[in-house]
Structure 1
Amino acid sequence: MGLNEFIFLLVGLKWTVFLSAIGFACGGITGLGVALARTSGIPVLERVTAGYIALFQGTPLLMQLFVVYYGLALMGLRLDAWVAVAIGFTLHASAYLGEIWRGAIEAVPRGQTEAAKALSLKYVSRMKDVILPQALRISLPATIGFLVQLIKGTSLAAIVGFTELARAGSIVSNQIFEPLTVFGIVGALYFAMCWPLSLYGAHLESRFAAATR
């Protein structure tokens, strides 16, 4: 494999990183709203967001990307492949992060909420200053674990013709007929992204577990 092919793989890696970052960031913002709605105590909001989470956790990511790109096109809304996969990964991430953070919010000792109410803190101040900082700490290992899964899941974006790392590897492999070499490099690049995150998540989990003993 030559230099040009390797550079093409690095371009695919760049788009994998961008797609993961956008899906995680936008999904995180939406997921926070989902988590707050799930713990709001308002039955309608809780039921709607529970259904939203069930929908995206209960269907394959591949199908979700297919529906966003091809389904919207059938209804007359044609999206660029980049926009379609960004929307698809945002929706997917928001459901999973919303559920992770919902669990973290509910894991904060109830006494913290009661103490904040006793101090006459309003809902926004109570969540921003008391509950969410503790919930973030609790959720960090699971959040990082999901980010690792999201990075690997970007390979499914190839279904709509988006050229990320895995699709770039397929293109190069079909050109030079060296699949073991090409996908060995692709696998090494995925490993270089995901392994440090996995180690960091495991480190946080063990540190937090030790702190609660």
Structure 2
Amino acid sequence: MGYLEFSYLFQGLLWTVVLTAIGFSGGIVFGAIVALMRVSKSPWLRIPAIGWIGLFQGTPLLMQLFVAYFGLPLLGFDLPAWAAVAIALTAHASAFLGEIWRGAIQAVPKGQSEAAHALGLHTRSRMIDVIAPQAFKLSLPATVGFLVQLLKGTSLAAIVGFIELARAGTIVSNQIYRPILVFGVVGAMYFAMCWPLSFYGRRLERRMSAGSAR
């Protein structure tokens, strides 16, 4: 495999990183909104959040990519492939991160919220200053784990013709007829991205388990 083929794979790698960054960043923003709606006492906020989470957790990411790529143009949104994929990944991430953070918020001891209420803090201040920092710490291992899954999930973007790392590997393999070598390199690239994140997530989980055992 020569320089040109490796350069093509590297371009696919960059697009994989970009899609992951966009999907995860968007998922953080909208996931926070979903989580807050999910723990709201108002059914007008809670029920739509439950439906959103159920929709995206109960359907395959592949189907969500198809709907974003082929469905949005039917509604008048003529988007490039990368934008459609980014929207699908953002919606997917918002549902999973929203549920992760919902669990973390509800895992914070109620005594913390009651103490903040006794001090006269308003609901917004209790959430931002008391509950959210503790929930963030509790959710960090699961959030990192989902980031790894999202990064690997970008490979499904190839199904709508978008050239990310997996698709680039297929194209190069078809050109030089050395699939073992090409996909060995592709696998090594995925491993180089995913393993440090997985290691960090496991380390966080062990650290938190050790801290809660004291």
**TM-score normalised by length of structure 2:** 0.98
Amino acid at match of 1:55: L
Structure 2 counterpart SS, 1:77: coil
String of CA shifts for 1:117-174, please: whole Å, max 9, x gaps.
Answer: 1111112211111000000000000000000000000000112211110000011011
1:195 Cα deviation (Å)?
A: 0.3
Moved over 4 A (4+): none
Unmatched 5+ residue regions in structure 1? Answer: none
1:7-156 equivalences in 2 (<5 Å):
7-156=7-156
In 1, Cα distance between equivalents of 2:21 and 2:192 = 16
Q: CA RMSD in A?
A: 0.8
**Do structure 1's residue 203 and structure 2's residue 190 form an aligned pair?**
no
1:74 Cα deviation (Å)?
A: 2.8
Report the more deviating stretch, 11-20 or 118-127: 118-127
Query: Number of residue pairs matched?
Result: 213
1:73 Cα deviation (Å)?
A: 1.9
Unmatched 5+ residue regions in structure 2? Answer: none
1:77 Cα deviation (Å)?
A: 2.4
In 1, Cα distance between equivalents of 2:102 and 2:18 = 26
In 2, Cα distance between equivalents of 1:135 and 1:76 = 40
In 2, Cα distance between equivalents of 1:180 and 1:74 = 40
1:29 Cα deviation (Å)?
A: 0.5
8 Å Cα contact 1:72-1:78 kept in structure 2: yes
String of CA shifts for 1:34-68, please: whole Å, max 9, x gaps.
Answer: 00111111112111100100000000000001001
1:76 Cα deviation (Å)?
A: 3.3
Name the residue aligned to 1:191. 191
Amino acid at match of 2:190: Y
Structure 2 counterpart SS, 1:121: coil
Name the residue aligned to 2:181. 181
Structure 2 counterpart SS, 1:210: helix
Structure 2 counterpart SS, 1:212: helix
1:153-168 equivalences in 2 (<5 Å):
153-168=153-168
In 1, Cα distance between equivalents of 2:86 and 2:49 = 21
Amino acid at match of 1:103: G
In 1, Cα distance between equivalents of 2:128 and 2:21 = 24
Structure 1 counterpart SS, 2:82: helix
String of CA shifts for 1:164-192, please: whole Å, max 9, x gaps.
Answer: 10000011011111110000000000000
8 Å Cα contact 1:69-1:78 kept in structure 2: no
8 Å Cα contact 1:144-1:197 kept in structure 2: yes
